[in-house]
């Protein structure tokens, strides 16, 4: 969006709005202007580490990473506009959801941060899912808490506060122990009618742990749940120093409720209204669909979370998407280089992806599994990437590329089929974002076939979660009586629907045939996992 105003003056007047998101490999800051458009950004790369069998980031990693990211954004402002940031209209923090951060009454961390990536809570996840009649994935905060109880961990008796990464950062900067409802829905099931933790399940959980001699009350130790648009406190003077080590930022700035990366992805793709959804497809892939009605029962393949406004969302999350596809494209790169041809990777991806559109709708009988890691939806704790064919399969380049594109969405489709075919959930439009959609029209067409629904790809979707949380901060100070969906439609996307593509009937039929083959061939993948150690 081309700016038609004095951005430097806008920043100096303290009118810009900041969003910061802690992703799993990068912390990103986006500063937005008068029309909610990005005007500056900063980032900091970081890596989780495996310590004593736990995927974690240290407290030091969190704060030095945040400070470096903020300083990088300030540098960008200086470079672009020749000025400094001393005040802001609003700030929002977001982070990867779930996980376990437990503190004692003095505010000290009791055990190292356990991230969403840990799969160490299987027993807790199964017992709670059964108790609640509601799917509790292993990465949810309540599963981590209950597993610590089952393990008899010493620290449990000292827990005074438990939160997520976004909630922790927000608390330290404002003193407020709160969470946005979308993020809270990855800690504990939310009752959409009350907008807070499901009281029946809270009672069930407290009764269960009382039987084990543990006296913890969810509403005492979990953050208070807030809705999109609510005030969530102000940046304290100490918080300002913690964020901006140069000391030029002043306290007193309003903060919006901290949210999770699923919620910010919904906002950044304008997918918060009922009957809309979005699919994020990169190394992993997940689909979020905003529901009109509750599902008829709990499914292990489907997580139930909420939008930042508290509406129920069905989420299908898969571990594997583009890694195997990228590995095959690199083989073609090596092949070309062996002939002395210099390869432009964008052109190579574009050529091979477009070749897939020439293939048979069902990939000519070819089969592939893109499982670099385990895939819970199909029951695999480990993965083995595989390509399989029969002697009479139609083995050519077009079908080979097509099968690798279809299998990138294979596990996702098995979960989405439960929603769209069994539960008859209605979706008017899905927005695709992430690496799979970089080659124009290809990933989009394959996703439209997988979901048998129209798919849009927006220019702005690439801005990601840091932009999404900046928009939620903007909503808090600029909502003027609008719902979040209305605010996004009128003030952010203003009619931008992106490029929409409807599903092709023969593509959709071909994908269904491929999925039959995919499900039927899972014993081959099982044999590979068992045999190739």
| Predicted local distance difference test score (pLDDT) of residue 283 | 83
Query: Are residues 362 and 408 in contact, defined by beta-carbon separation less than 8 angstroms?
Result: no
Residue 181: count of CB within 10 angstroms of its CB: 27
Q: Is the pLDDT score of 463 beyond 80?
A: no
Among 403, 416, 333, 325, residue whose Cα is nearest residue 371? 325
Query: Are residues 307 and 182 in contact, defined by beta-carbon separation less than 8 angstroms?
Result: yes
Q: State pTM to two decimals.
A: 0.88
Burial degree of 38 (CB within 10 A; 0-12, 13-18, 19+): middle
What is the spatial distance between Cα 164 and Cα 93, in angstroms, rounded to a whole number?
12
More confident residue, 379 or 239: 239
What is the spatial distance between Cα 217 and Cα 202, in angstroms, rounded to a whole number?
8
More confident residue, 111 or 495: 111
List the alpha helices (DSSP H) in 389-441. Answer: 397-408, 410-417
- Residue 37's pLDDT band, with cuts at 50, 70 and 90, is very high
103 strand-pairing partners: 109, 161
Q: Is the pLDDT score of 2 beyond 60?
A: no
Q: What is the pLDDT of residues 147-195, one digit of tens each?
A: 999 999 999 999 999 999 999 999 999 999 999 999 999 999 999 899 9
Residue 461: count of CB within 10 angstroms of its CB: 23
List the alpha helices (DSSP H) in 137-198. Answer: 141-150, 165-174, 181-184
Burial degree of 344 (CB within 10 A; 0-12, 13-18, 19+): exposed
Q: What's the first-to-final CA gap in the chain, in angstroms?
A: 52
Q: Is the pLDDT score of 492 beyond 60?
A: yes
Neighbouring residues of 424: CB distance < 8 A, sequence distance ≥ 6 = none
Query: Are residues 370 and 281 in contact, defined by beta-carbon separation less than 8 angstroms?
Result: no
Q: Is the pLDDT score of 32 beyond 50?
A: yes
The mean pLDDT value for 363-374 works out to: 95
Give SS3 for 79.
Answer: helix
Q: What is the pLDDT of residues 258-282, one digit of tens each?
A: 999 999 999 999 999 999 999 988 8
180 strand-pairing partners: 226
Q: Is the pLDDT score of 499 beyond 90?
A: no
CATH T-level assignment (fold) for domain 1-97+164-174+230-257+464-496: Nucleotidyltransferase; domain 5 (3.30.420)
Residue 342: count of CB within 10 angstroms of its CB: 6
Q: Is the pLDDT score of 1 beyond 50?
A: no
Domain ranges in the chain are 1-97+164-174+230-257+464-496, 323-411+506-531
Q: Is the pLDDT score of 497 beyond 70?
A: no
Q: Is the pLDDT score of 133 beyond 90?
A: yes
The mean pLDDT value for 411-435 works out to: 93
What is the spatial distance between Cα 99 and Cα 183, in angstroms, rounded to a whole number?
11
The mean pLDDT value for 286-294 works out to: 94
């Amino acid at each position: 969006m081309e700016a038609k105003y004095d951005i430097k003056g806008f920043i100096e007047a303290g009118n810009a709005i900041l969003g910061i998101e802690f992703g799993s490999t990068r912390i990103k800051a986006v500063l937005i202007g008068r029309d909610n458009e990005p005007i500056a950004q900063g980032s900091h790369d970081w890596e989780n580490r495996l310590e004593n069998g736990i995927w974690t980031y240290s407290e030091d990693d969190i704060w030095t990473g945040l400070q470096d990211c903020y300083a990088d954004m300030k540098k960008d402002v200086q470079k672009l506009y020749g000025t400094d940031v001393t005040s802001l209209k609003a700030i929002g923090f977001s982070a990867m959801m779930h996980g376990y951060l437990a503190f004692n009454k003095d505010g000290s961390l009791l055990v190292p941060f356990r991230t969403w990536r840990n799969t160490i809570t299987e027993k807790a996840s199964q017992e709670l899912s059964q108790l609640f009649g509601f799917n509790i994935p292993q990465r949810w905060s309540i599963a981590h808490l209950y597993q610590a109880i089952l393990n008899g961990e010493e620290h449990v008796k000292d827990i005074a506060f438990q939160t997520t990464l976004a909630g922790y950062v927000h608390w330290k900067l404002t003193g407020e122990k709160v969470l946005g409802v979308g993020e809270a829905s990855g800690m504990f099931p939310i009752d959409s009618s009350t907008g807070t933790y499901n009281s029946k399940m809270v009672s069930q959980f407290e009764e269960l742990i009382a039987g084990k001699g543990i006296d913890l009350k969810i509403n005492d130790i979990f953050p208070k749940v807030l809705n999109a648009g609510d005030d969530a406190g102000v940046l304290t003077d100490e918080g300002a120093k913690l964020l901006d080590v140069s000391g030029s930022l002043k306290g007193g700035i309003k903060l919006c409720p901290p949210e999770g990366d699923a919620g910010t992805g919904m906002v950044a793709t304008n997918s918060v209204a009922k009957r809309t959804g979005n699919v994020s497809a990169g190394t992993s892939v997940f689909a979020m669909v905003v529901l009109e009605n509750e599902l008829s029962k709990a499914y292990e393949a489907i997580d139930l979370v909420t939008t930042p406004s508290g509406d129920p969302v069905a989420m299908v999350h898969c571990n594997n998407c583009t890694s195997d596809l990228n590995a095959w494209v690199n083989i073609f790169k090596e092949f070309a280089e062996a002939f002395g041809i210099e390869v432009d990777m964008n052109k190579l991806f574009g050529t091979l992806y477009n070749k897939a559109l020439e293939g048979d709708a069902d990939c000519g009988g070819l089969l592939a599994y893109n499982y670099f890691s385990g895939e819970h939806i199909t029951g695999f704790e480990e993965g083995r990437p595989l390509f399989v064919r029969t002697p009479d399969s139609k083995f050519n380049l077009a079908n080979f590329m097509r099968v690798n594109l279809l299998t990138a969405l294979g596990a996702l489709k098995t979960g989405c089929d439960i929603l769209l075919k069994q539960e008859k959930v209605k979706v008017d439009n899905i927005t695709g974002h992430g690496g799979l959609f970089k080659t124009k029209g290809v990933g989009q067409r394959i996703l439209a076939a997988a979901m048998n629904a129209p798919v849009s790809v927006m220019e702005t979707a690439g801005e990601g979660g840091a932009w999404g949380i900046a928009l939620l901060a903007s909503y808090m100070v600029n909502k003027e009586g609008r719902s979040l969906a209305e605010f996004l439609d009128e003030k952010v996307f203003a009619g931008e629907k992106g490029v929409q593509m409807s599903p092709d009937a023969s593509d959709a039929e071909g994908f269904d045939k491929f999925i039959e083959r995919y499900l039927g061939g899972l014993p081959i993948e099982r044999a590979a996992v068992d045999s190739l150690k």
